[in-house]
């Protein structure tokens, strides 16, 4: 198996609801599993990106939202063995119990620092003892577990962000090599990508059927009441953004995440599905385009960090999807480089102010930008390398896009969090 195939396979993971509340619930439920008895206190410490992304985010099987309720539901009903789907079995009784925990002041949430580096520390105190679970760098990457003063698990952590960490695998490849991989990888090796479409399409269906959605039903109306019309852009926007809306309001269907984000996974896939259906392209072609989309998204995200002040689903996943549209047009790596320049020069800098319904509008913008960028690039229309943050190679441009987020937007991240906290006072 090609190492890029393995990279995609390991990164594709189901996530119920927005990833950050799922990760919070996972951490709390994992800590709670080590100490029996009645819950007395949950103390949650989060980095700024984690704190912000879950701040007003919908939670599956609940009408509540946000950090406190994700933690409370994790303590009451979380199933740690399900990881990011740990809240899959929440009941109405669980919601009532979680609400009482929050009202009683038993859930304390604090922000640790302004950083794009994922950090969750969940401390649970019960009548039977105390336990702590720490997650670092990835949503399910537990690096330390303590229970009643005993260290049960400890992994080595990189000491500083941006230090001498190992070069990410994806950065060993050029755009041309990624493109060649997508063209030449054996078809059977990437058939597992089918699971992403099965999962994301089921989420999309929930979005257009559930009475809680608003964007989804209007996007369907705009597409002539059809899921697959003859309009590629409207079809792509419907498939993508009905699924995103369903996810961010907390409907009970998982998304297949990429780079730790369900919204990234949706944007990287669903527009491509619409295009392939309209054109009658094969599943194999769809999976090859998707592999390319995923890898470009990963390339940018490894520079920006998992959670930052810029909208990775629009910028990183949107750019990956735009390159995949070029692939479906029959374009080569040169057309993809032009597309990356167009995306870099347009939506880079779009802020992330948390996982919420606003992600749907960002998805609308990303799909529009991707379709326009790819179309322009296929007609040899693009923003030249000399302008702005565009690099003299596509690899440099993608690096610059990521660097705008981290370290570039650390101040922006602080301002966003300050606004959220001001609203919450």
Q: Which residues of 145-155 are buried (b: 16+ CB within 10 A; e: fewer)?
A: bbbeeeeeeee
Domain ranges in the chain are: 16-154, 169-424
pLDDT for the residue numbered 163: 45
Same fold, 16-154 and 169-424: no
Q: How far is CA 327 from the centre of its chain?
A: 23
Q: Is 130 helix (H, G, I), strand (E, B) or coil?
A: strand
How far is it, in rounded angstroms, from Cα 268 to Cα 320? Answer: 6
CA-nearest of 103, 56, 95, 57 to 76 is 95
How far is it, in rounded angstroms, from Cα 44 to Cα 78? Answer: 15
Residue 407: count of CB within 10 angstroms of its CB = 14
For residue 277, what are the contacts with CB-CB under 8 A and spacing of at least 6?
228, 235
Bond preceding residue 407 cis, omega within 30 of 0: yes
For residue 219, what are the contacts with CB-CB under 8 A and spacing of at least 6?
234, 237, 238, 241, 242
Query: Which CATH fold topology does 169-424 show?
Result: 2-methylcitrate dehydratase PrpD (1.10.4100)
Integer Rg of the chain from CA = 21
CA-nearest of 416, 305, 369 to 361 is 369
CA-nearest of 185, 170, 416 to 303 is 170
pLDDT for the residue numbered 165: 63
CA-nearest of 164, 118, 151 to 26 is 118
What secondary structure does DSSP assign to 275-333, as a single string?
HHHHHT--HHHHHHHHHHHHHHHHHHHHHH-SS-SB-HIIIIIHHHHHHHHHHHHT--H
For the chain, the residue count is: 425
Question: Is the pTM value of this prediction over 0.75?
Answer: yes
Mean pLDDT for each 10-residue chunk of the chain (425 residues)?
A: 98 88 96 97 96 91 94 97 92 97 97 92 98 95 96 80 71 98 98 98 97 97 98 98 95 92 96 98 98 98 91 97 98 98 97 94 98 98 98 98 93 93 84
Q: What is the CATH number of domain 16-154?
A: 3.30.1330
For residue 70, what are the contacts with CB-CB under 8 A and spacing of at least 6?
20, 21, 22, 24, 25, 28, 54, 57, 59, 87
Contact 312, 305 (CB under 8 A): no
């Amino acid at each position: 198996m090609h190492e890029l195939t393995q990279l995609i396979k390991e990164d594709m993971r189901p996530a119920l609801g927005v990833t950050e509340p799922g990760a919070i619930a996972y951490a709390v439920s994992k800590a709670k599993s080590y100490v029996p008895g009645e819950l007395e206190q949950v103390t949650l410490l989060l980095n700024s990106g984690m704190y912000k992304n879950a701040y007003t985010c919908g939670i599956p099987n609940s009408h509540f939202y946000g950090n406190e309720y994700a933690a409370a539901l994790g303590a009451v009903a979380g199933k740690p063995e399900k990881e990011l789907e740990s809240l899959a079995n929440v009941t109405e009784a669980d919601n009532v119990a979680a609400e009482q925990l929050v009202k009683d002041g038993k859930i304390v949430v604090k922000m640790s620092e302004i950083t794009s580096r994922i950090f969750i520390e969940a401390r649970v105190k019960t009548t039977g003892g105390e336990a702590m679970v720490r997650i670092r760098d990835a949503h399910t990457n537990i690096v330390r577990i303590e229970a009643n003063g005993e260290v049960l698990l400890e992994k080595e952590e990189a000491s500083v962000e941006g230090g001498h960490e190992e070069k990410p695998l994806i950065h060993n490849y050029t755009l041309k090599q990624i493109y060649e991989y997508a063209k030449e990888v054996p078809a059977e090796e990437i058939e597992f990508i089918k699971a992403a479409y099965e999962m994301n399409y089921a989420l999309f269906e929930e979005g257009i059927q559930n009475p809680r959605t608003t964007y989804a039903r209007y996007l369907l109306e705009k597409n002539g009441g059809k899921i697959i019309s003859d309009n590629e852009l409207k079809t792509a926007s419907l498939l993508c953004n009905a699924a995103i809306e369903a996810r961010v309001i907390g409907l009970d269907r998982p998304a297949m995440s990429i780079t730790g984000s369900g919204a990234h996974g949706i944007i990287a896939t669903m527009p491509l599905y619409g295009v392939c259906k309209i054109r009658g392209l094969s599943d194999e072609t769809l999976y090859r385009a998707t592999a390319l989309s995923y890898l470009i998204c990963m390339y940018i995200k490894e520079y920006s960090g998992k959670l930052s002040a810029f909208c990775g689903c629009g910028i990183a996943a949107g750019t990956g999807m735009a390159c995949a549209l070029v692939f479906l047009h029959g374009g080569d790596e040169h057309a993809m480089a032009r597309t990356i320049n167009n995306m870099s020069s347009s939506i880079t800098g779009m802020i992330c102010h948390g996982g919420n319904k606003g992600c749907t509008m960002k998805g609308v913008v990303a799909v529009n930008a991707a379709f326009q960028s790819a179309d322009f690039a296929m007609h040899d229309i693009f923003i030249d390398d000399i302008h702005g943050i565009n690099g003299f190679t596509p690899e440099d441009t993608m690096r610059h896009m990521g660097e705008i987020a981290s370290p570039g937007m650390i101040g922006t991240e602080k301002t966003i969090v300050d606004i959220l906290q001001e609203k919450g006072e």
